[in-house]
Structures are given as structure tokens and as C-alpha cells.
Structure 1
């Protein structure tokens, strides 16, 4: 039925559900209908339907399509005809009848603007009259009789309480939900009371509603966010009500005899922070009074419908006959049982069973000519001839049905490829029979959308088709029978796979997807389970507290993905990490031909490092001669005898792995790359002065970050930061500078450079001046910082065009000093940088970590001018006009555009070094390459671009807007379509051939 009307309206959609148990045949489900006070998800206030479960709520239609602001705050089922009040902004304007299954209203009468704002309506089967409730100024509720033909009303009773909702039981008793103050353990609350009145509206009794857990049920008044609506299920003698508390809607049932609240279930809008509260009003449970009134038989029970398992058009019904009449008195006999199709009516009568119809007897009847598809049966007991009792309804699907999704999908790597296994569908779309004789499957590999198998009957398949790249794959499996095609399902199963890698191959373990390429095994099942930690960039073993007796030998493996190698010599580099001082990390480097421990058969190096400080990083190197071309896997086998000492603990890890060819030079693979062995090999990139006493730090600034030219002379190095101490911070410092290689040091998990390969530039004491201020929030920001370190180089450093490494060894007085270094170039005061010829810094997260901002004072190298020429053509040797050619060196760029012949010429200013060249043309893939300038003009010759066809990736802005670019087969842009949050888009393409998502499409 109904609920309180609101003075203001929010318009959100409610998808209503109530808590009843639905069997497979739906015989016991209770159908609920309701109106909503608000609208969401594109609907105005609406009619909704639920067939007994929360998951099956259905939108029926808007309450009044001509009035999007209209709501139906209250209504009542008058023995099969539902009457309701429509209102706008709290004012009723129309009395209507509602066809609930169709969601349509029929006008009864228009109402004047002063018509009372009744908050609830109810129908009495005892008096066959419609009533409404209205709260008066005195704070109590009055009951009015409503004329169903013209909407006129007359007051018939004062209840003496303020009602929240009303409804009549079948015998004419009026039930009212109201509240009274109640002293609970949490203070005074408003507790629900179920108050009853006889058919003349005389008070009978008031019962406090209680639950299984509490002697009261509280109502929390919070203005408009509290709505109650209730309706009797007359067949089951249960009173249902919905309630909105704190923007959550609940549904409950009450045993009116005891006042016991029976059950509870949270409805939609379960997020208390959601301002879209879901208010269900005008609750309606379909019911028509039986022919014989109170003496009529109640409905049959345990009604079930079973379709023929072989798919024939046959349904068997079973049920138990009733034993009591509508008011609970024992039946003395039954005349017959009627079975209807769809609904009660002589035209729908299938059979009337008169033989063997006993009170409480179990019965069976078979429909030998059921309809194909859904079948609904209505079973009606008759106490005497011509008197129909309460009906029971059941639905079932007959015949072969469309298959449901497959289940139990499992993916495994096998030598032939990826093996997919699955189980046949356990369900069908409508609950019908699965035709296994015609059951077939189609498999599509995702995300590359490759159909790998079509119409196979088996429940397993090996995908041997080439994998485009190493990534996560899944398979959409679509079942099909003669009845139709089911929905595809991946079963949430996925697997990482891809083609073999080639050398050089390296990983820093800081990429989650890349880490899935590796396998790990805890061979002795001890307590030390390692894991790939993409945040720290390590395979970590986090030790935990155990006593001495519980310690086992560490026996853990990590095994690389497959690497395709040609015969020859290779160098394998592994980085070891030890969390604390005075612990050991021992491991072997092994290789074999498979990603299992048993397949790792050849040891190529054994290493053990003992830490002298916390967070120690060491690098191990081994050389291996691969005897023949083939596919190999490499592993690190951690074999420390003991990693715990009493109740102490330490974490161990592997932070870097690389295999690279070293050619025929027998010495190249044996060079020492772990740094100065006289002291611990420590590499940190957080600051030039670390918290550890006598620590070594190395920071790498890549060639692109620096923006220098080869031959530039670095004269002074400075750092930006702050010192908020009362006095300068002093200490000693040694500094080295050198080259890190053209392509080296592009990640943060690498070996430090040996100090004898670097050039000293400072050795002595330093004094960090007091620099910086704090803002109103107490933080030191970039614009309040200054220079805290300045190092004039005793001997200028000539830049060689490669990456620069800076190494420091320091002794600082305290880790508590309030000083720091800038690593993000934001809002720095320009006065700090005045007079500096060149400034350079790492981006806010450089590939080498959080490097501090570096300021260099530089004398620029002399430059030369030269010409760069070339011709841009397609793979079909067609000359491309309008291609943009960019030559870059550090932070300097030079640009030209091709003419009608595809030719370009540009003048470049620079030094003799390696330059980057990029060529961009819409409709073609971008070309990137390098060239070397050695003192004469450079001709790049013919540069070929590959045309792209199909649809570009779609890029959305913050408002969900974007564009799609469509190319024809020759790469010409033929459509540039703006989009806005659209799932489908009509491109209005002309006749021709196109590539859409990699599939050729012919538009005729």
C-alpha cells in the first residue's frame, strides 16, 4: 500500500525488492508492487515490481509520463482494483486506478488544489469501503471514507494516536503503526507500536513491536528521510512494511498476533552517505477475496511444476490440498481442484479434478500439451461447487532452453600452448532443459579478440596460436545449442603468457604484470614465503618471529620466463638485498629448460653476502656459455641456512635480474661491477646526504634529464633544499662524478659504479647554511627554499654526452636534523637561480628514483651548423607530404615539414654526437630513430612510414567527452567524430572498405 507524503520532492529511482524465498518454480514467491517517491537512473518517480527476491526488481513505468514531477504517495487494493492518489509537490491532483502489471493509470477524477494530503489509504474487505488517513493539527490521525467514484471524503473516526501507516486485515481489523517514547540502553528512542481497532474504529489493543534481538524496534526521526508504508499479505496473514532510515530502505514482516517482527533485509540504497534515499510507497500485494469469503478454502501448498527432462512439451504438477478455510477453521471436505493456464477464467481452465480430492491429500496432475517455453499454472481448491478458494501460482519453462554460462574455467600453460578446460552449463536461461546432444562451444581469446575454436563439442581445448605479447589472457567461452546461443563467460579465469623473450633481458620487479612472468616455489614449505613486491621492486622474503627450534633452512626459488637464446657467452647479474646488518643472503644462479624446480638443472654461480649495515645491496655476476640455440629459463635459488637469530628478524630479497650477451671476449664477463670491496656496497638515491653514518650514495641523471651538449664543461654543482635548524649543519663529504653509460642506469634497482671508475671532485668539510621558511600550515615549500649545497669543481668535468653518475660518501651528525632536499621542480623562486647559465633537474619521479634537484653551472661547448635531409615515403613507396620531422638533442629541438615530394631539409645547430629523430604524420605510425653527426651534413635517405587503418583509441577528457578518428585502408583520415559517454556510435560511413577493431568491414 502507501506511505507518508512529502512536502518537497527529490526525484530518484527505487528498484524495490522484498524478502521472500522464491523456489525454482516460483510457487512460493510473493509478488510486490510499489511506487517510488523519487527517481534515479534516468527514470522519474516510477512503478516497480519484485517477484519475491531482491535481485529481480523490475522497472514498470513512470507514474505519470505527462507529469514528471508526479508521485503516488498512497493507494489501496480494493478487491482487485487498485486506487491511488497522484500528487505534485505534496498536493494531490488526481484519483486514479492502476494497472500494475502494465504500469498504466486511468483517471477517475481530477482533484481541487485544497484536497487533503492523505498520507495513507486502506481497503476494508469487511465493509467493502476505501479509507484514507490524515494527520490533524492536534497531532493525531483521523480516518476518512473515500468515495471511489468521485473522490469525495468524509471523516469517520479519530484514532487518538499519530499513525505512520495503516491497513486492514481481512476480518476488518484496522492495524496502525505508531510510535511511543521508550527508555532503551542507548537513551530514549521512539519505539514502534502496532495498534489495532475493530471495524467501528474502537481501540482494541496496542502491542509494542519487538524483534529477535531486542524488546523494541526503534524509529529514528530525521525529517523527510523517514518513510513507512505497509500492506497485508491476506493469503499468508502477514503484515509487510518498508521503512527508510538514514537514507537506507528496509523491508520487514510482522506477526500481528504477537507483534513480533519476523525478518529484515536491506533494500537498495545501502550506502548511508548516499543522498539518494529510496522510498517505496503504495505497497501492493495482489489479492482478490475468495468467492465464499471467510469460509473458502485456503490455497494449496507445496505446489511444484516439473518440466519433462527429455525436453518434451509436458509438465507435471504436484501439490498438497488445504486443510483449513480462509479464517483458519478446519475444512470438512473439498469438491474439486481446478487448474488454469496463466490466470483464472473459464477460457483458461485446463482441468477440474473431482475424483480423489481429499482434505490435506497429496495430488499429481500432468499437462500433456504444455506450451513451448514459459508456462504458468494457477491451482484453485473449491470447497463446494461454484466456490473458488484462494489460488496458488507456479511457473516453469518446458522444452529445450538456451544454455546458461559455462562454469569451472581453468587455464594452464602446457608445452603446446594454453590449455583451457571447463564444465558444461549447470543452468539454462529460463530454467528449461539443456540439450546436450547439440551443445557446442566457441572460444575467443581476450584481450586480442582472436577466435581460437568454433563449435567444438569437447570440454577442453589447447590454444596453440601465436601470442602477440606477454600479458594477461582470458577466454570467452560461448555455449550454443539448437535452442540458441548463450552468453559468453570468462569465469574470472586468466593467465599470464606470451612468446619467449630475447637477450638482453632484465627486470626490476617493480611492475606487477611483468612479475607474473616469473614463478616462485617454497620448496621445503617453511614459514618464509616470498612474494614479488612491485612497490619496492624486489622479490621479498619477509621473516617473522619464531623461536630457534622452528627455524628451517631457507629453500626458495624464483624462475624467469622463457628466454630465447642463441649459442654463445652470456653474463647474468643478480642484485641481493639484506634488510638488516649482520645477516647473510646466500643463493645460487641456475638455469634449465622449464619453469619448474625439477627443470632447473645447471648451476652457474654460488654467492653469499653478509651485511655490515642495514638495507645492504650487493650485486652478483656469473658467466654462462649456452651450448645451443634454444629456449631457457634462469633461476635464483635462495639457500641461506639461517635467517633468524633468536627473536630477531630480517628480510631478504632479490631486486634485479639481467642476462646479456658478452660476445667472444673471455674477460668481459668477469669484470668486477660490485663497487669498492673494502667497504659495503650501498646505493641509495634519496638524497646526497643519507641518514646512515659513513654511507655511500649514487644518483644517476640521465642524458635526457640533463639537457647538456657533448663537450659542455661543468664548473659547479649545487642542490636546492632547506635547513630549518638554528645553526648550520656541518659534516664531511667526499664526492665523485663520472659517466654511467649511454643507455645504462634507466631503473632504480641496479649495481653501483665502482669508485675507481669515477673522478673525485670534492673531499672535505661542508657547512649547510640556515635556509628556508615555513608557510602557515607549517610546511617548507619549494618557493621558500634555497641553495643548501654548492660544490665548485676543483677540476672542471667535460660532459661526454652520456648519463652522469654522482657518488657521495658522508658522515652526518644526526638523523633528526630538520633539513631536506627538493626533488620536484615546482614554484621555485626565480631569484634562487639567477646568474646560472644552465639549470637541469630530474622530473618529479625520475627513472632513477627521487633524485634531488641538481643545479649545474656550465660553460657551453662551441657548436656547429649542419643540414639534415631525407625523404618520407609509405611502405607502398608513395611520397608523403606534410609529415613533421623533429630532430632533438637533450632539451634542444629542430623541426621541418615534408613538401609534396616527401622531401625535407633542416638546419641543425649542435655538437658531434648522437641525435634523436621522430617523424609524425596523421594516418601513419610514428617513426623514431637516431643518427650520428660527425662533422658533415646528414642525409637520412628514404624513411618509410606504415599506414594505420581502422579506428584510433578513444581518449576521454574529465567530462567524458572525446573523439574517434576513422581511417580508410590507405591510412587517410576520413572521419573525426566527437563523442560523449556513448556506448554505441553510428559513424555514417560511405560505401567502401574499412578496418574496424582489426576486422575488415565492407559498407555497401
Structure 2
């Protein structure tokens, strides 16, 4: 392995002291951020609050399902953030997203890092308006570094390492980057090589969690939502106002944010004209023409305050922008006046983002924005989608309801929609121009996991809707079927692993933790509870369901599970005609107990299936263990086999007659219709409808013949073949 030593640059300049002062009256300015925690809120997610009222926040885009963000920042009223999903191994990197403050929509852009890499932790982000660049600081393998992020793809690019571990970063109006280290010192960051120039010591040391910092670009003040060990052990988050224009640098604690909160992705709206410029117009609304014509009426109420919250005594003009291009300037209007403007200058159907701002002697004021689609729209998403897997997992029937509104909220006629169905991952277009709201796919031959999209179309465009879930379809497997988890792609492509209680504590694969509990590592599927990572609150309800398999009625089968556990675990064995939880019924059970040995050995657990199973069926393993009092549980399954059981089909059979055979042929009674030959341990050797059976290919030994007579009556003969 080749390594390269890097020289970390830490420039010491004439360091200014800092002075902490008491909070003076604070401006009534709106702030935004992502509350990961805040006991003053009824949930978590993107929120708004005011600088002079930090206790009261309003949730504007709630999150759920164990999804959070490591870091984020706002650019042009769009929040960008690096999300994670929390499971039993902690936070796992997921999507880079964009949340639009104007439209209220969140868009998944793509992965921002490899989801299996848990070593990289982003800590804060900031947007540089001078270069239109998103910067971030992150921590990996003991090193803090400066990164840039591609807002189109989510790609993260390392710029340079930092000489000190930094937890926050912010860009000012001039594009200068500032960061705070875990040592409590504020630095100026060189955007090219990551060199740090110390500005002052804030005396807030030891960051207790991810946090955020942001400039108010209207007046140059820096704000840090600080949660540090040195202040109160990391209990509360304090909003610190940092005035870099003062000598020494002046730091003002303006108050506690919420209740036991963790605030990320801090954003402070700003205006080019500064604090004395007009605030944003209010009640901004866009009303497109009701019949789809290229016309829209914009209405609003002129501001009555400056951006800093003082009374506004004069407005020189109001400017109307459409998609960042000026469409009108209205001269000399009164503060607080209700205004309208009709835009008829559009040339084509499409989305229109209108911005309205007032101008006074200080300059351009804050923008008030609204969005509308003007003109004819294409279909929105279809709804009420269902998929029914049938015919032994050989077919899938899709149903849906038509789109009833335009994709963009514009004028839309629901009549005349057609549909296109595409199956993934083979990218097969199954049908186009379909007018019905149902379709059955019977063309999946290769057994695998498939998904579908339904695209609604009209003359103006189309919108694709992903059908929820994935479905294992195709030709059933011949028995025996065995799964040892050595090929995870094969397993995930044909088997179903289901977290039925949706608690996030479910099956995982190839974790490194088995060595510490069992004494060695094992290729397996596993279920683990660990209170040091997260506290489970429900009994286990986890499923593993096989692909469809072909069963023969005259055979008896068994399920063999190779497993080990540090806790007592209960697995029900189920049978169903489809590979869904709803189709399964319990046919047996097994209990996995801890065993002695170092490393702990695995044990085979066998459940015999009922006789007479016929046709295509699926077998399930349902883990339904009671939640342990100590919240510790660890089960590893190294193999699952569905096979013919010894003695299959002839258990406890007493032969009605014994036949001593010395020749090569046995002639059965005339009333015999079908004969099956078994060896002495019950393995089926052959089935024939001939009355004469040759023993020439049989080795010396005892055999059983099950003969079906006319009318369905069965007789069993025991024969001894001697050579």
C-alpha cells in the first residue's frame, strides 16, 4: 500500500481576543433549520422560528421512519442535505436531497456516499454564493477535511484535510469560509488548501453533537447553534451571535434554542439591500387561467416593515420576476397596499416561479415567492396501486387509479390518458397505449426480483410512478433448495426478507460483530438487538420466505435450518402458495438455544412438513421471539434447506405381502395402475404405469412398492432383491 504524507497547514496570525457580552434586544428575523431533536416540537424535521423567539419553532416539513440528516445548507431557498437511515448498526448514509421552501417538495437526488461506508460523517455544510459552491466539513479515520458537493448529483469531493477537527462551517457574503473547531476556536479557512487561520477563541469547547453555523448576509453577523460539553455538558443548544467587525471579536449568547434541541442546517434569509431594505411582500399568490390559457394573475400585499423589522415609510417600486427574469416594474406604491398584476407574456406551457420584491433607497428588498404551472399540464401520478402475485409466483396483476390532477398542478383534463408499463430490472416495456387500469404480467420466466413502473401519458407529457415494492416472479425451483448466504445477490434476488413490524430491527448480512459474540465470523443472515445502538420496543416479527418451489404429493419434505444464538429464539415454519407473509400458515416450529463451545458451533434444527403438499408453494421462517428484558438478542442462520425427508411417503407403512424375487421382473396384478419404488430408507427411485417392473438395475437389498389399484386403492409390497 502506498501512502502519501500531507502537510497540514495551520497559520497562526495575530489572534484577536474574544469578548462575551450579554444579549441586547435581538432583531425579529426568521430563521430556518432542521431540528433533529427538540422537545418543544411534536416531531422532528425542517422548521422555522424567529431570532428573538428561540423557544417557539414551527415544523414545516416533518421527517419520520428513522430518517435524519447529518448536515445541510440552503441555497436560493432550496435546502440540500445528506440524509441517513438509523438501524441497529447506527446511522447509515442514504440520499442527498433537495427540499424547496417555496413548493414544499422534497426531491431525492442520489447517494452522497457509499451506504456501506459508516466511517465518513459529514458535520456541517454551507453555500458560497460568490462561486455557487456548496462546501462541507466531515470527519473520517481521525481526520477532519473540507469537501465540495455537486448539487446536481450529490457527489462529494474532498478538497483538503484540516489541521484541526472542525464541526461547523459558514460562508459570508464575500465567499470567505469560517469554521469552529472542537477546541472552541474560530478559524478562517482557505478554500484551496484547507489552511486554517485562527480568529479567536470562543471558549465553547467540545462539540456534543452535529451542529450548524450560518452568516446573516444582510449585516455580516455570524450565528452558531452551539451545543458543547464546556457549557453545560452538551444538554442545551445556545444561539451565539458572533460580530467579526468588533475588536476583540464580540460573542453574544442570545438564548437557548428550544428544549434539549439539536439544530442542523441553519439558514437565515437575507437581502441585497441590507437590514433597511423592505421586507418581503406577503400573501403572494399566483392564479393561472382556469382554462389553460397562457396567462396568470399574481397578487400580493406590499411590505410594511424593513427587513430588520422597523417601520417602512416609503417604497420606490415593486419588481415582478418570472423564473428570475423581470416581467414588470410598478412605480411608487404604498407600504401595505394590496396589489395585482396579470402576466400574459408567456410563450409556452410550463412552470412559473414568481418573485416579488419592493425597492427603497436602501436597495432591493426581500423576495416573496410563489409557484404555479401555467397552461396545459400532463398527468400526475397514478394512485391506489396494488400488485397481486398469483399462479405460483408466475404472474403479477397490477391495478391502479388514473391520475386526477396535473403533474405540476396546472390545468389538466383527465380524459384520454394512456399507460405504459415497464418491468425492471430487465427494462422490459410490457405494454404501451393501454387504456385499461389493470394489467397482468405473465412473461417473467427467469426467477428473480422484479419491480414495475406505471407511466400516465397525454399529448403534453408523461409522468412515471414507481409501483411500491419488489416481487419475486418466475418459474418455480425444483427441490431440494438450499441457501447458505454465500451469494447475497442471489439471496436478495429470489428470497423475501421482511421486517413485518417495521421497527428497523431486522435481518442483516455479513456484519463483523459475530466474532465478539460467538468466537468466529460466519457467512449468514442474522438478527441482532443491542441496547448500546438502539432500544427495540417490540417482539420480533421478521420473516424469511423461500422462492416458489415444486412439491410432489407422494413425497414428504423437511426444513433444515443451521443456526446458533446467544439467546433463546423461536422460529415458526410456515407454508403458503405465495411468497408473501399474508399467504403463509404455520406448519411447525423450532427453538434455537445457546450451546457450549468456543467458537459456538451451529446446530441443525429440522421440522418435518405435512404429507400431501403438492404443486408450487413457498416455505417461510417466522422469527417471533419475545423482546428480551435486557434488549440483547443475537441469532445467526448459516443455512436453510428444503429437501425430501428420510422415509418420505412410507412412514409407518406395514407391507401387506412379502415377495421373494430371484428373477429380473415382477409382474403386478391386472388391477394395478401406477407403481412407485422406494428404497429401504424411503427415497423414491422411480414411478411407472407398467405392470411389469424390472429389477435388473436395482442393487441387492430390500425395496418397497407402493401400488395404486383401480379405483384409487393403494397396496404396499415389500420385496427383497438378491443377485
Q: Which structure is higher in RCO with an 8 Å CA cutoff and minimum separation 6? A: 2
Q: TM-score range by the shorter chain?
A: 0.3 to 0.5
Q: Which structure has the bigger radius of gyration?
A: 1
